[in-house]
Every structure is written in structure tokens, then in C-alpha cells.
Amino acid sequence: MTNKELDKWIAKNVTLKKPYKVAMALTSDESGIALIEGELIGRSDVEQYCKDYPKYHCKIVDVYPEYTTDPAAAMEVLEKCYEKTNLSICTCKSPDGYKFWLPNGFSIALNATTLELAICLFAKKLFSKCERD
């Protein structure tokens, strides 16, 4: 699973956030690609923007928060983990990644290069486990 796929999974299953729509289009001089959010173009409907300006070859894409790389977003995920379990969550860095454990005995070692990624992997395991229980 890529980071972007994990970000999407976290949004759908942990934080319950919907993606925001972004129009991806050629720049006016056709020299590159521009990401256009509704607020930046003064419209709330980026799909209409693409219909209004077909020459820019617009494509609508879903964008999710970058939980796996953004420290603040990862902390939001960790808060959701706490809300789900109502238990303290402990973590420590090890030579192989990170280890998480809960007072109820649930623990897991994760091979992750960053704490943000480790938090997301932990949340995926935790929320997947809770769905099965």
C-alpha cells in the first residue's frame, strides 16, 4: 500500500474526512499543470470550472490529507486512535521502526521510517482489528 493509498484509507476509516476536489489543468500558457482549488478560483464548484474552460483539459482529482507525512495530520490520527480505544497509547522508536502498545495488551511493532507513517500503520491495524471484534 502506498502512502497515498494509506492516506485515503485513513480518511475513509479513521478520521472520516471526505476528500476535497481539485481541478488539475494546463496552465494558461500551456507550459505546465496547475492544481486549482475552488477557493483559489473564486468558485465552490471546480467541476463547473472544468466545463467552462475545456481548452485547459481539466481533470477533477480527489485530494486527501497527507496523514503519512504531515505531523499535525498524524496527530489527528493518533487522537482518533485514543477516542476509539479510550486507552493510553504508548510508542517508542526501535532500530527496526516503532512499537506501539495499549494497556489492554494489544501491541505491534511496525517497520516505518517516520513517526507519521508509523502512526498511520498503527491506526490501520487498530481500526481493522476493531472492525473484526
User: Residue 114: what pLDDT?
Assistant: 94
Question: Residue-wise pLDDT tens for the chain (133 aa)?
Answer: 899 999 999 999 999 988 877 766 655 655 555 555 554 554 556 667 677 766 666 777 788 899 999 999 999 999 999 998 888 899 999 888 999 988 888 888 999 999 999 999 999 998 986 554 4
State pTM to two decimals: 0.74
User: Residue 132: what pLDDT?
Assistant: 46
d(CA 53, CA 46): 11
The DSSP result for 27-73, as a single string, is -TTSSSEEEEEGGGGT-S-HHHHHHH-GGG--EEEEE---TTT-HHH
Sorted by where each begins, the domain ranges of the chain are: 20-63, 71-132
